[in-house]
């Protein structure tokens, strides 16, 4: 039900002609009421069950504006999902009855008529107000969330496995853990500034807002596209090494599909809705659906377990609230590496959980985020903890630092155990990166089964894993960390394997551009990203520009280098050194070993490059 409230000096309306056969019979065509709260109402499908909630809402508003006279005005134009005429009329009549019982003077404009009306709105802050009164299903959900809050317990677990209360833990050596715990528990946040990574993503020509799209849908310039592609390739190779099978599934799903619908209703977040003719589809907010539907149709033996399916969910869509969107930290369209593992029992699920936990640590390390650059949260039900205390302690030992623990008396979500690695930025906001969950609910919901040794059909446990978290969020964390480094006086940079230009060669004069290009070809042939600044500028100026791009190795070419056949290399944050080209090659090989390689995303000569910003 949708209601538009107007607190009015008066309303006057006149029924002109019937808009439908079912229109009510009326006595007076023209009516006028002074000093009243007018409720324009669209009755939607299924609203008969919402009567009491609607009455509460109307009374709530009436009390706020001190109105004793209420005019219920049927108004179909607030919704595209209207109830049938008979249901709507019943709901309106019942509303009238109930409001009268509560002691209000209630009038109702006739249903099913074209009416003219004049209204005088008082214009104070509460005089215009719209409300959407939602279904019972969603109401139950919010009750569940409230219950979750009542039975949630927070602790810090130290590396010896002892639980401390979050208030009393000594955070002296772990200031970020304190910030993370505050953020998680109280949700306190006091940021006033633009997050530092936003300026960096723009000035480094990585990503930018796209005013031509919905907010939270970014554009990625060539350098940003390169970084994303490398991160994606890297995560993909990690999970393939781990034994996953890569698949691809649709980005939109039938809104009315039974198992999807119950999942959607359990998590009433905001989806993008796509209309295909009259049919409604929602854009996926993770890769779960497609993979679950695929596994539902698969024939799986216990011999196939643990079975791992991986997909790069590009994109995943979540229509986050506008106020919540922020640079690359929280988007409406994002790229989510998403792996699901079927495990035969809890023991196997825990084994895989631990492997994936260790993989996530290594993955983040390769992005330049070490233990200590992020905070660990482990969440579980009390039952799980009682039966698996040693396992939890082991997880904490593996990261060798205290961890935020959240424990529930009952299971509110689909999982019994979950971890996340959270990056805490300079504005004290936390953002989850890697995560794994043990899901005990969706195998049944989606009808995913395997056959055990006795030929019996069983439900497996399902692990949800994103070893890195959203790709855009990895970039956010790297940029935020670089900014923190810069504030500490350290030169900010990306890991060498992710730097769009790894070597910049700067000829001292035009006549050396030729040798510079020769050197470039040497390194390019070895698979590194090299470019030449052939612009008509001073050496100082070209150095400055290269430094502003965070280029890790800057090579100046002139007489000296040509005669002695050496390279003068300015290593980022480490001064200028002379070396043979083979030495530089060796350094680069060490820096990028085992990481994916991609070619330079821009023309190799700087004079041929546009500026995107």
Partner RNA sequence: GCCACCGUAGCUCAGUCGGUGGAGCGCCACCUUGGUAAGGUGGAGGUCGCGGGUUCGAUUCCCGCCGGUGGCUCCA
Q: What would you report as the CA-atom Rg of the chain, rounded to the nearest whole angstrom? A: 31
Mention every residue, 6+ apart, whose C-beta is less than 8 A from residue 560.
Answer: 566, 568
The one segment of 89-97, 103-111, 223-231, 553-561 that binds RNA by CB under 7 A: 553-561
**536 touching RNA, by CB under 7 A:** yes
Residue 381 and residue 418 in contact, taking contact as beta carbons nearer than 8 Å: no
**Residue in 556, 584, 600, 602 binding RNA, rule: CB under 7 A:** 556
Query: Shortest approach of RNA to residue 459 CB, angstroms?
Result: 19
**323 touching RNA, by CB under 7 A:** yes
**559 touching RNA, by CB under 7 A:** yes
Matching residue, tokens 């404009």: 109
**150 touching RNA, by CB under 7 A:** no
Burial of 222 (0-12, 13-18, 19+ CB in 10 A): middle
**Residue in 94, 215, 259, 406 binding RNA, rule: CB under 7 A:** 215
Query: Shortest approach of RNA to residue 510 CB, angstroms?
Result: 4
Please give the Cα distance from 236 to 360 (Å, whole number). Answer: 13
279-306: burial string, b at 16+ Cβ within 10 Å, e else? eebbbbbbbbbbbbbbbeeeebebeebb
Count helices and strands in the chain by DSSP H and E runs: 17, 28
Matching residue, tokens 């009421």: 33
The one segment of 48-56, 165-173, 229-237, 530-538 that binds RNA by CB under 7 A: 530-538
Pick the closer one to RNA by CB: 88 or 417.
417
Residue 77 CA, distance from chain mean position: 33
Please give the Cα distance from 41 to 56 (Å, whole number). Answer: 15
The one segment of 174-182, 343-351, 358-366, 547-555 that binds RNA by CB under 7 A: 547-555
**479 touching RNA, by CB under 7 A:** no
Please give the Cα distance from 381 to 152 (Å, whole number). Answer: 9
Helices (H), 428-538: 442-446, 471-487, 513-525
**147 touching RNA, by CB under 7 A:** no
Query: Shortest approach of RNA to residue 106 CB, angstroms?
Result: 27
The one segment of 152-160, 472-480, 515-523, 548-556 that binds RNA by CB under 7 A: 548-556
**Residue in 80, 454, 540, 590 binding RNA, rule: CB under 7 A:** 540
**137 touching RNA, by CB under 7 A:** no
Please give the Cα distance from 416 to 424 (Å, whole number). Answer: 25
Please give the Cα distance from 514 to 154 (Å, whole number). Answer: 64
Please give the Cα distance from 136 to 264 (Å, whole number). Answer: 15
Pick the closer one to RNA by CB: 139 or 320.
320
Pick the closer one to RNA by CB: 187 or 258.
187
Half-sphere exposure of 299 (CA within 13 A, CB side): 1
Query: Shortest approach of RNA to residue 477 CB, angstroms?
Result: 15
Pick the closer one to RNA by CB: 35 or 511.
511
**Residue in 29, 101, 347, 560 binding RNA, rule: CB under 7 A:** 560
**222 touching RNA, by CB under 7 A:** no
Q: Mask 254-273, x = binds RNA (CB under 7 A)?
A: ----------x--x-xxx--
**103 touching RNA, by CB under 7 A:** no
**Residue in 32, 63, 77, 509 binding RNA, rule: CB under 7 A:** 509
CA distances from 237 to 149, 368, 455, 596 (A): 39, 18, 34, 9
Return the closest-CA partner of residue 528 out of 558, 498, 548: 498
Q: Mask 325-354, x = binds RNA (CB under 7 A)?
A: xxx--x------------------------
Query: Shortest approach of RNA to residue 409 CB, angstroms?
Result: 17
| Contacts with RNA, residue ranges (CB under 7 A) | 145, 187-195, 198, 202, 209, 211, 214-216, 264, 267, 269-271, 285, 318, 320-327, 330, 413, 427, 491, 508-511, 536-541, 543-544, 547-548, 554, 556-561, 568, 570, 576, 611, 613
């Amino acid at each position: 039900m949708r209601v538009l409230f107007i607190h009015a000096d008066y309303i006057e309306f006149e029924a002109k002609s019937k808009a439908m056969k079912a229109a009510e019979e009326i006595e007076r065509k023209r009516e006028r009421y002074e000093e009243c709260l007018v409720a324009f109402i669209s009755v939607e499908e299924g609203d008969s069950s919402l009567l009491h909630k609607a009455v509460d809402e109307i009374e709530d508003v009436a009390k706020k504006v001190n109105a004793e006279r209420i005019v219920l005005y049927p108004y179909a134009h607030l919704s595209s999902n209207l109830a049938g005429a008979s249901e709507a009329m019943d709901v309106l009549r019942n509303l009238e009855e109930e409001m009268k019982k509560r002691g209000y003077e209630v009038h109702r404009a006739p249903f099913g008529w074209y009416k003219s009306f004049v209204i005088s709105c008082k214009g104070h802050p509460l005089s215009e107000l719209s409300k959407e009164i939602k279904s019972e299903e969603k109401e139950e959900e919010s009750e569940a969330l409230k219950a979750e809050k009542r039975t949630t317990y927070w602790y810090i677990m130290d590396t010896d496995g002892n639980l401390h209360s979050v208030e009393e833990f000594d955070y002296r050596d772990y200031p970020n853990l304190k910030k993370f715990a505050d953020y998680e528990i109280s949700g306190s946040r006091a940021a006033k500034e633009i997050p530092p990574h936003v300026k960096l993503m723009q000035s480094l020509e990585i990503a930018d807002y796209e005013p031509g799209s919905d907010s939270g849908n970014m554009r990625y310039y060539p350098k940003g596209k390169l970084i994303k592609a490398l991160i994606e390739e890297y995560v993909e190779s990690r999970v393939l090494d781990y034994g996953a099978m890569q698949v691809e599934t649709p980005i939109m799903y039938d809104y009315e599909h039974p198992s999807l619908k119950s999942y959607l209703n359990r998590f009433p977040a905001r989806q993008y809705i796509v209309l295909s003719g009259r049919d409604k589809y929602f854009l996926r907010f993770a890769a779960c659906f497609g993979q679950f539907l695929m596994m539902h149709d698969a024939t799986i033996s216990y011999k196939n377990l643990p079975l791992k399916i991986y997909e790069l969910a590009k994109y995943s869509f979540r229509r986050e609230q506008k106020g919540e969107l922020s640079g690359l930290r929280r988007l409406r369209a994002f790229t989510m590496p998403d792996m699901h593992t079927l495990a035969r029992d809890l023991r196997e699920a825990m084994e895989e959980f631990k492997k994936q936990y260790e993989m996530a640590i290594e993955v983040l390390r390769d992005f330049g985020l070490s233990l200590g650059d992020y905070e660990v949260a482990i969440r579980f039900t009390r039952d799980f903890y009682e039966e698996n205390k040693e396992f939890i302690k082991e997880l904490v030992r593996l990261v060798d630092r205290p961890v935020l623990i959240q424990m529930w008396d009952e299971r509110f979500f689909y999982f019994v155990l979950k971890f996340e690695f959270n990056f805490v930025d300079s504005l004290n906001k936390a953002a989850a990166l890697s995560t794994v969950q043990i899901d005990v609910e969706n195998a049944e919901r989606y009808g995913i089964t395997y056959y055990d040794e006795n030929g019996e059909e069983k439900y497996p446990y399902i692990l949800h894993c994103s070893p890195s978290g959203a790709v855009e969020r990895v970039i956010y964390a790297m940029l935020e960390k670089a900014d923190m480094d810069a504030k500490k006086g350290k030169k900010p940079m990306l890991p060498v394997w992710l730097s769009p230009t790894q070597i910049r060669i700067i000829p001292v004069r035009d006549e050396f551009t030729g040798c510079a290009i020769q050197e470039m070809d040497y390194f390019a042939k070895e698979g590194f990203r090299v470019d030449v600044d052939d612009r008509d500028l001073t050496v100082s100026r070209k150095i400055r520009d290269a430094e502003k791009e965070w280029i890790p190795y800057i090579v100046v070419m002139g007489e000296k280098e040509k005669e002695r056949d050496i390279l003068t290399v300015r290593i980022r944050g480490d001064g200028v050194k002379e070396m043979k080209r083979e030495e530089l090659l060796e350094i680069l090989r060490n820096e990028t070993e085992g990481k994916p390689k991609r070619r330079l995303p821009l023309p190799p000569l700087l004079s041929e490059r546009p500026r995107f910003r």
